Structures are given as structure tokens and as C-alpha cells.
Amino acid sequence: MELFEQLDAAEKSARTPLALRMRPRTLADVVGQEHILGPGKLLRRAIEADRLGSIILYGPPGCGKTSLAEVIALVTRRIFVRTSGVLAGVDVLRDLLKKAQRDRQAARKETILFIDEIHRFNKAQQDVLLPYVEDGSITLVGATTHNPFFFINSPLTSRSQVFQLEPLSEPALLTLLDRALSSPEGLGPLQVRADRDALEHLARVCEGDARRALNALEIAALTTPPAADGRRLLSRAVAEESIQKKAVVYDHDEDGHYDTISAFIKSVRGSDPHAAVYWLAKMIYAGEDPRFVARRLIILAAEDIGNADPRALTIATAALTAVDFVGLPEARIILSQATTYLATAPKSNAAYLAIDAALADVKEGRVLPVPRPLRSTGSKKAAQAFGHTGYRYAHDFAGHFVDQEYVPTSKLYYHPTNQGYEETIAKRMACWEAQRKTPRKPTL
């Protein structure tokens, strides 16, 4: 019977998904999340000392929330109970909580209750947890992909520490893939040899999701027939097929990255929305950080559009906020809206040229004194004592404009164009110049 049990266990293990088989068993096995699990970090110290309080793990799919809970289950000396926000109703939850309370009173054994997808609990279910968390009957470990400050009751989050997990970096994913290829619990028995660019492709396109990367690796390995020597070779073409995503030439720190973002910015500046959207699509497909694209659009809105359409900067800034809040894949729509708006907006770099010209003057030593009427007055007595008088309040005059010296130079820095709203600005400035007693002329 022992032989049959061993064979059954081996067959069951082979049918278990690779991502499940490769879950870490110790803190040393966990990759990534150094900001909360690095040496000396609070969460690591609490787990190692088995002094963990109630926590909520918040992060995207595949970043290691459940894996971290598995490690806690293995290292703790407390009773570890797990359930899910999808499966557990109020009755099931009450039974678990009452048992934990009995164990604590009778056997003096504390219980860690792990709830996966805790955001799926409604308010009533979350309220059931509150008194047990509050009196220490359970230590709650909740996992969620949704912002806990929006989807979990405030009383519960206030009694728990929230730890945000980040998507795994490409080096971290490569470490996991290499480990899966060599591990006896992983793909080691299949004798898989993978080209480096195949693994790098999987790490790049899986966008920080370890489960997705390991699932793709397993599909690639199981569907690749062994060669004559019994080994299976995974090429990049096989990796692309296994994850249904073709690789594009786009190295995140080399020419592919810089050339594409350059083409994107120049297309927006050149008022070609069609080209701009194409380069945007290439970057999104290749796994570029959408926040990087949004930040570049903000710079472009100020540098290349400026006051020709003051709304451009507002839209670009709003796009960054929205992209950060929503995330991919929907963030592509937000970036497309901002890109097409900026590409079709009137263009002017006058504000950009103005600040660079002024900075050049300051850098070259033309640091001018502040006119006395414009200096900080403090009290009226101090202003009179130091001669800081004579300031003329613009709102007291017709058109809310008054001629006075604001800087002791006749040099002009800002030259608005006739593009978009800047044409209105140019007319307004011309009107003010006409009202000045001594019109200023450009100094070359």
C-alpha cells in the first residue's frame, strides 16, 4: 500500500500547477519585496520571531501575497487557518472565529486566520471579524488586489498593518524561472534547457506576475517534445507561443527603448496623432511602464504646447494620476486620449525658451537687485525705515494693470506666438506695452 500511496502522491504532485509547487517554504525562498522583507525590516522580524500582528497584504496578482502567507503558515507555532473571501459566508466565518476563541481559552493556542481576496467580503462579513481581531482571538492575515483603504472597513484597517507588495522585477522573475527549471519539485525531472532570451521574454511580458510566468514556462516545457538525448529545448519562439505574446525589439535600457520614446515624443510634437498612437501601442505591448509615458507627456505639454493650449498640461497631469490609479490594461485608453489631445493641440515652445533664457542670464552673473517697492515690507514702519515704499497695487487701477518697474532690465524673455490661446496672450501683452510710459524693447 505504501508503494501505491507514493505513486499516487507523485502523480498528484505532477498534476499540481508549477506555480503552486514552487511556492516558497522559507523566507529565504521569497524573491522580491525587499522593501518589506529585506534584512531588518519590520515584517521579516515579526515573522521570524513569530510575533506577527494582524496585517493586510495589498498588491497585484502574482506578486506573492499567498506565497508569503504560506511561509507564515510554515514558520509559525500558532494554529494557521485559511479561507477565502470567495468561499466563506458569514456562518462559516463565525464557526472559524468561535473555534479560534475556544482554542485560545482552552489550549492557550493562538490562531492566524488567512483570508485570501478579503476585499470580496461585504461590510457585514468584515464586521464579524472586528471583535475577534480587537480582542486578539485571531491574528488576521488578509490578502487583496484592491486598495484596502477603499474596499476594507476602516475599523479593520486601523487595527491592522497594511503592507503593499510590488510587482516582481524582471531579475526576480528570472530567479524564479531558473529555480523552477532546476528544482526537483519543478521542471528538473524533465531536463529542460531554456535559451536565456526565452526566459527574459517571459520575465518581461508577464508584468511582474510570477504565477503567469511560471504557468507559461510549464506550458512551454510540457508541450515541447524531448530531443534524442532526452532534453527539451525552449527557444524564444516557444516562449512567445506559450504566452501568446510576440516579442518586440524593445530593450528597456538600450536603443529600442530610447528610439521608441523619441519617435513617440517627436510624433506628438509634430502633430501626427496616428504615428504617436502607433509608438504608444508598441511601448504598451512591450511592457513599458505607463507612468513613464505619462510623465513624458507632462513634460511635452509644458515644453511643446505651453500657453498655446493651457489645458494640455492639465490633461497630461490628470492622465498620470488616472494611469497610476487605474493601471493596465485600461490605462492604455487614458494614455491614448492624452496622446491624441496633445498631438492635435496648437504648439508653442515660448514658455520653455523664456525660462531657459532667464536662467542663462542668472547663471552668467546678471543677478539683478529687487526694486525697492517690490521688496517685502513687513510692517509699515519697517517699510518706511528701509525705503521699501512706492508699490502700486494693480487692482486699484483700470484694467487691473499699472505701469511700474518689476525688474531693472529692458530685456524681454517671453515672446508668445500666434498659436492657439497664445495669440490672445500676445494681444493682451501688446496692449499693456502700449500703456507703459516707457515701452520696453528687446535687448539682444
Spatial contact of 263 and 279, defined as CB atoms under 8 Å apart: yes
Q: CATH class for domain 33-164?
A: alpha beta
Lowest mean per-residue pLDDT among 216-220, 271-275, 374-378, 380-384? 380-384
In the chain, pLDDT over 70 holds for what percent of residues?
89
Domain range summary for the chain, segments of one domain joined by +: 33-164, 170-243, 255-344, 362-435
Amino acid 166 reads E
Per-residue confidence (pLDDT) for residue 9, from 0 to 100? 42
CATH architecture, domain 170-243: Orthogonal Bundle (1.10)
Residue 270 pLDDT level (bands cut at 50, 70, 90) = very high
Give pLDDT tens digits for 399-442.
Answer: 888 888 778 877 888 889 899 988 998 898 888 888 876 555 54
CATH architecture, domain 255-344: Up-down Bundle (1.20)
Per-residue confidence (pLDDT) for residue 245, from 0 to 100? 54
Per-residue confidence (pLDDT) for residue 381, from 0 to 100? 63
Q: CATH class for domain 362-435?
A: mainly alpha
Per-residue confidence (pLDDT) for residue 305, from 0 to 100? 95
Give pLDDT tens digits for 221-265.
Answer: 888 888 888 888 988 888 888 876 555 555 555 556 788 888 999
